[in-house]
Structures are given as C-alpha cells and as structure tokens.
C-alpha cells in the first residue's frame, strides 16, 4: 500500500486506508490468508526470490497478504516506510536486539524501561557478550558522556510505562545521530498516535500491538517500524533467521480494531486525565505521575512533543500507608482488575515496588506506587470505586 491520500487527516486514513487487497471484492474487512506453503508459478520464480523484496511471497512464516496489510497500515500510521510484525511486544524488543547487536557491543537503556526489556538485556549481557548499561531517563543531551565507541543501540521509552518520566527524546536522538548510534523507542504508551518518533530523530519505533491496537485484551503481537530500508532489512534478516512469524487470524483481529483505536484512545485519555486531576486533590496521594500534569518529571517535554496521553498513569501514595495496606486497597477495588498488560476496555490497577526496578537513578518517593489503567467504563463509577477504597484506607 502506498499512502495515496496524504491530504486526509490521520483518522480518515486509519478508517479508509488506501490499500486494496482483493480488487473487485469491495469489502471493508481484510481477508484472512492462512498459509504455510506459498505456491510458485514456476521454478524460475522460486530461484530468483530475494528476501529483501517485501513484494514477493515466499513462505507463510514471513508474510501473508493479511499480515502485510497490517504492517503497512501500522507503518503509515506512524509515518514510517516499513514495519515487521512479531508475536508479542517483547519479541519485537528481542528482534531489535538480535538484529542490531552482536557480542562486544554496548547498549544504553533507560532506567525506567519496561522490565522484561531490562531482563532481556541482562540475559544478553550474561550469556551473549554484550554490555548493557542504564541511564537516567531525564539525562537528555548528557547521554553523550555515556556513549562509547562500541555503543550500537540506545533504547528510549517515554514515558516509562510505570514511573512515567518523559525523556527529552530529541536531545538524545540528536547526540545519537551525531555519534552514529541507532535509537529505538518503545512507543507503546502513545500507540503511535500522540508521539511521532520519526519527527524527533528516532530510528526504530517498537509497538506492543497487544495494547491499544488490539483493544480487546485477547491478542498478543508487536511491531517494529522504520523509515530507513537498510535498518528494516537488518531487522527482517534477524526475524527470518529466528523463525519469527505471526498468525493471519491474529492480524485480522487487530485490523478490525485499528479504525476505532484513535477514538478509544481519546476516551481513555479523557477519563484518565479527569481521574488523575481528582486524585491530585486527595490527601492519601503524595504525587500523581501523569505526563500531562506538572508533578510528572519531564512534563515540559510531554507538552512540547506529545499531543495526548491515553489511559495509563500512576500515583504515589502517602508514605504513611504500608505496602500491605496498598495491596489491600488494590484488591478492594471492584471495577479495576489486577492484571498485566492494558489497552483493552477494562480498567486495571497494579502496585509496584519501584526501588527494586532501577539501578541508575534515584527514585525520589517513599510511598508505594500504584499504576492505573483507565478503561472505557463510566468515569464517575471508577472515581466512586477509588473513593470508597481510599476511605477504607484512611479509616
Ligand atoms: C506490554 C508492553 C510490552 C510487551 O508487549 P507484550 O505483547 O505483552 O509482549 C512492551 N513494552 C511496553 C511498554 C508494554 O507495556
């Protein structure tokens, strides 16, 4: 697909993409193409296959018309030229590592990174001979002091999906570009809707499609999106060698949800921001870590670089409440379930012991952090639920 109508707004282009998979069959849905074998018209066609050519069908593992359609729509959405799909967000992270880093190389990772990314890096450091070092997410241009001749990759994540610091991404990418280091952002929080990484000098955007793109809490998938073809091919080669593929059935579920993603996201944003502002007024809460509110470190960068927030934010409770009391608070909520992931219709809450999650930067708070994911329920009901449990806490 090429983006044939750049004059249309983002939402129009998401709802009415320019691709046409089955000419003559006018349906709004994308057919599910299931395949392992892909039949070649003749042996010459098989022998002249080039793995670099995204337009050739080779084997169901690598691409089907359904998966390519999803990949192309995601790339268009974020302003990239190429996208690869992986069977989870974490496998997209892994694809970035194995595509770009070899033994002897060094990687810089924000201290507030998605924890399984840190665990992956620690594994590579222990068993595969790379070095993984962590930086304060608010380091900005100071990243220059950490770059070594063997530094090959800088991860970015803004905001961090638990502690919500917003990095000065253009400052970091400007240094990285000048020093020839590739940058990859975990852009899951913004869904690619409210932060445009390629406008800020980022080389790779990684998405957990499991979240807003799916919207149903029922699919796992991830994507890596690039502007640059050589970078795309490096990731594509690693993906091929590791045998990574996705199911067309799963792709079709995400294709079904994608047109409504922006309106869902905006509703999550609206309810979450109202709840966050209200929580700020409660004496049980020491800090509200919502990038759109001034308490959040990096708020100024959010205001400069982002156009919206979605449903995920955190609060820090007053330190007089013990972790056990906060556990009880979370378990007492009726409308917020306890569970990983987010991006679906249902609200979630989860306590975190942040001090145990970072190594490089000081965590300034003493109270327990609770992350809320605000779903699509009535905001007044969610507020009443939290209020009831805050009252029980204070009693
Ligand atoms: C959920 C998530 C991932 C991983 O996605 P999975 O599909 O669950 O593997 C990566 N990064 C962030 C920020 C996430 O929230």
Q: Which of 16-30, 223-237, 272-286 has the lowest mean pLDDT?
A: 16-30
Q: Which of 169, 157, 223 is nearest to 198 (CA)?
A: 169
Nearest-atom number in ligand 1 for the CA of 161 is 13
Per-residue pLDDT tens digits for 333-347 = 999 999 999 999 999
Q: Give the largest CA-CA distance in the chain.
A: 78
Question: Which of 109, 159, 208, 253 has the most ligand 1 atoms within 8 A of CB, as the residue to mutate?
Answer: 208
Q: Is 246 in the pocket of ligand 1 (CB under 6 A)?
A: no
Give, in words, the CATH class of 43-47+57-255. Answer: alpha beta
Specify the higher pLDDT residue, 22 or 64: 64
The C-alpha atoms of residue 310 and residue 292 are separated, in whole angstroms, by: 10
Q: Is 85 in the pocket of ligand 1 (CB under 6 A)?
A: no
Q: Which of 295, 289, 337 is nearest to 315 (CA)?
A: 289
Instruction: Encode burial over 42-74: b for 16+ CB neighbours within 10 A, e otherwise.
Output: eeeeeeeeeeeebeebeebebbbbbbbbbbbbb
The C-alpha atoms of residue 273 and residue 277 are separated, in whole angstroms, by: 6
Per-residue pLDDT tens digits for 239-268 = 999 999 999 999 999 999 999 999 999 999
Q: Backbone phi, then psi, for 196, in 5-degree steps?
A: -105, 90
Specify the higher pLDDT residue, 278 or 28: 278
Q: Tell me: pLDDT of 20 over 80.
A: no
Q: Which of 252, 214, 255 is nearest to 343 (CA)?
A: 214
Question: Which of 93, 161, 213, 312 has the most ligand 1 atoms within 8 A of CB, as the residue to mutate?
Answer: 161
When the pLDDT of each residue in the chain is averaged and rounded to a whole number, the result is: 95
- What is the CA 122 to chain-centroid distance, rounded? 20
Cβ atoms within 10 Å of 210's Cβ, excluding its own: 26
The C-alpha atoms of residue 139 and residue 94 are separated, in whole angstroms, by: 25
Kindly give the pairing relationship between strand 348-352 and strand 312-317.
Answer: unpaired
User: Where along the chain do the CATH 3.40.640.10 domains lie?
Assistant: 43-47+57-255
Instruction: Encode burial over 365-392: b for 16+ CB neighbours within 10 A, e otherwise.
Output: bebbbbbbbbbeeebeebbebbeebbee
Per-residue pLDDT tens digits for 67-93 = 999 999 999 999 999 999 999 999 999
CATH for 261-394?
A: 3.90.1150.10
Give me the mean pLDDT over the 35-59 stretch.
94
pLDDT bucket at 2, cuts 50 / 70 / 90: very low
User: Where along the chain do the CATH 3.90.1150.10 domains lie?
Assistant: 261-394
| pLDDT (0 to 100) of residue 4 | 46
| pLDDT (0 to 100) of residue 357 | 87
Residue with tokens 């670089």: 305
Ligand 1, atom 2, lies closest to the CA of 208
Specify the higher pLDDT residue, 275 or 55: 275
Say what percent of the chain tops pLDDT 90. 88
Give me the mean pLDDT over the 102-116 stretch.
97
Please report, to the nearest 10 degrees, the dihedral formed by the alpha carbons of residues 363, 365, 366, 370 taken in order: -100
295's tokens: 């308490």
Q: Classify 129 in phi/psi space as left (phi over 0), alpha (psi -120 to 50) or beta.
A: left
Give me the mean pLDDT over the 127-136 stretch.
97
Q: Which of 326, 316, 312, 310 is nearest to 279 (CA)?
A: 316
Q: Which DSSP letter does residue 226 get? A: E
Cβ atoms within 10 Å of 270's Cβ, excluding its own: 15
Per-residue pLDDT tens digits for 277-291 = 999 999 999 999 999
Vertex 247: Cα angle to 341 and 60 (nearest 5): 150
Q: Tell me: pLDDT of 215 over 50.
A: yes
CA of 164 to the centre of ligand 1 (A): 15
Q: Identify whether the C-beta of residue 152 lies closer than 8 Å to the C-beta of residue 182.
A: yes
Ligand 1, atom 10, lies closest to the CA of 89
| pLDDT (0 to 100) of residue 3 | 45
Nearest-atom number in ligand 1 for the CA of 157 is 13
Q: Tell me: pLDDT of 388 over 60.
A: yes
Q: Which DSSP letter does residue 337 get? A: B
pLDDT bucket at 101, cuts 50 / 70 / 90: very high
Q: Is 222 in the pocket of ligand 1 (CB under 6 A)?
A: yes
CA of 31 to the centre of ligand 1 (A): 27
Q: Identify whether the C-beta of residue 197 lies closer than 8 Å to the C-beta of residue 205.
A: yes
Q: Tell me: pLDDT of 202 over 90.
A: yes
Q: Tell me: pLDDT of 5 over 60.
A: no
- Give the helix ranges, DSSP H, for the chain: 10-15, 43-47, 65-78, 89-100, 115-127, 169-179, 229-241, 248-257, 261-280, 299-305, 323-332, 379-394
CA of 246 to the centre of ligand 1 (A): 16
pLDDT bucket at 6, cuts 50 / 70 / 90: low
Question: Which of 86, 93, 114, 115 has the most ligand 1 atoms within 8 A of CB, as the residue to mutate?
Answer: 114
Q: Please, which residues have CB within 8 angstroms of residue 353's CB and are 6 or more apart in sequence?
A: 323, 368
């Amino acid at each position: 697909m090429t983006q044939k109508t750049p004059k249309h707004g983002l939402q129009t282009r998401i709802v009415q993409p320019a691709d046409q998979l089955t000419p003559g069959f006018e349906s709004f849905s994308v057919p599910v193409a299931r395949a392992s074998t892909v039949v070649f018209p003749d042996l010459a066609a098989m022998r002249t296959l080039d793995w670099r050519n995204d337009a050739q069908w080779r084997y169901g593992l690598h691409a089907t018309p359904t998966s390519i359609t999803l990949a192309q729509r995601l790339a268009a959405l974020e302003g990239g030229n190429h996208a690869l799909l992986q069977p989870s967000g974490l496998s997209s992270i892994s694809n970035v590592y194995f595509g770009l880093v070899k033994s002897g190389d060094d990687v810089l990772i924000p201290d507030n990174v998605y924890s399984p990314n840190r665990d992956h890096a620690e594994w590579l450091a222990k068993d595969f001979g790379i070095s993984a070092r962590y930086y304060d997410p608010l380091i900005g241009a100071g990243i220059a002091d950490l770059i070594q001749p063997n530094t090959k990759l800088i991860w970015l994540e803004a905001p961090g999906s638990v502690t919500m610091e917003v990095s000065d991404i253009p400052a970091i990418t400007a240094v990285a570009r000048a020093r020839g280091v590739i940058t990859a952002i975990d852009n899951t929080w913004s869904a690619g809707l409210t932060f445009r990484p390629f406008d800020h000098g980022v080389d790779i955007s990684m998405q957990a499609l499991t979240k807003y793109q799916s919207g149903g809490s029922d699919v796992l998938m991830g994507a890596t999106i690039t502007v640059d073809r050589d970078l795309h091919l490096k990731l594509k080669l690693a993906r091929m060698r590791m045998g990574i593929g996705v199911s067309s059935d799963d792709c079709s579920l995400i294709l079904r949800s994608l047109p409504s993603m922006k309106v869902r996201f905006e509703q999550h944003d609206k309810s979450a921001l109202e709840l966050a502002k209200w929580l700020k007024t409660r004496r049980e809460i020491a800090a509200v870590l919502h990038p759109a509110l001034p308490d959040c470190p990096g708020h100024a960068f959010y205001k400069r670089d982002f156009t919206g927030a979605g449903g995920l934010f955190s609060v820090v409770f007053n330190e007089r409440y013990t972790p056990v009391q906060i556990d009880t608070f979370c378990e007492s909520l009726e409308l917020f379930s306890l569970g990983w992931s987010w991006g679906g219709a249902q609200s979630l809450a989860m306590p975190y012991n942040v001090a145990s999650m970072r190594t490089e930067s000081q965590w300034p708070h003493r109270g327990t952090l609770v992350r809320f994911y605000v779903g699509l329920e009535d905001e007044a009901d969610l507020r009443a639920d939290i209020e009831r449990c805050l009252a029980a806490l204070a009693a």
